[in-house]
Amino acid sequence: MFTGIISDVGRVRTVTPGGDTGFTIATAYDTREIAPGASIACAGACLTVTGTGEGWFAVQASAETLSRTTLGRWREGTKVNLERALRLGDELGGHMVSGHVDVVAEILARRGEGDSLRLVVEVPAQFEKAIAPKGSVALDGVSLTVNEVAGRRFGVNIIPHTQAKTTLGAVQPGDGVNLEIDLLARYVARLLGKDLA
């Protein structure tokens, strides 16, 4: 489990295609403290660490992960929001995030709003009912509050701190972002017989 509070922005060092695609990611984390098998949310996708070295860690992504996320678009140099897994006793500063990306959403617009950045995001039709005003979403792993919803579109504000400490300050219209809907919305939809996948 994660909170959607990004603690590092890493950079893809290598991409290795194969049965599962391998990535090495440069990080400011002390990788001596990261055990193989640990979970790290990478742009919102929970991935298992398969190896580490000084200043980097390695992960693999299955075909399922590549099909539901932006990871298949990663190239050498791609910047990646990172969050270590929540530990018992850690502060829950954002909201409960599983690291299970539901779909790639599209940035439709960005504009300044005070010191903040307003993003308008569009989701596929089957997900529109899972987004609620003042509810929570994770975009590329960042916990955000939904400001308003209009059909398949919703708006979020990115404050200056989040712009500086995550990749969201650089997104542009047409970019895809990994979207994880609120866990409660996912289970309510299931109970109502409205699978979102």
Pair (73, 116) in one structural domain:
no
Pair (160, 131) in one structural domain:
yes
For the chain, what is the radius of gyration of the CA atoms?
16
Residue 94 banded pLDDT, cuts 50, 70, 90:
confident
Residue 197 banded pLDDT, cuts 50, 70, 90:
low
pLDDT of residue 190: 66
Instruction: Supply the range of the domain harboring residue 38.
Output: 8-84
> What distance in Å separates the CA atoms of residue 36 and residue 104, rounded to the nearest whole number?
28
* pLDDT surpassing 90 at residue 70: yes
pLDDT of residue 91: 72
Which of the 8 DSSP states describes residue 64?
H
pLDDT of residue 116: 97
> What distance in Å separates the CA atoms of residue 82 and residue 77, rounded to the nearest whole number?
15
The pLDDT mean for the chain works out to 93
Pair (62, 19) in one structural domain:
yes
Question: DSSP strand E in 17-162: where?
Answer: 21-26, 39-42, 45-53, 56-61, 79-84, 103-113, 116-122, 136-139, 142-145, 148-150, 153-158
Predicted TM-score (pTM) of this structure: 0.93
Residue 69 near residue 43 (C-beta atoms within 8 A):
yes
- Residue 12 belongs to some domain of the structure: yes
> What distance in Å separates the CA atoms of residue 6 and residue 17, rounded to the nearest whole number?
27
pLDDT of residue 183: 77
- Residue 92 belongs to some domain of the structure: no
* pLDDT surpassing 80 at residue 89: no
CATH, residue 139: 2.40.30.20
Residue 121 near residue 109 (C-beta atoms within 8 A):
no
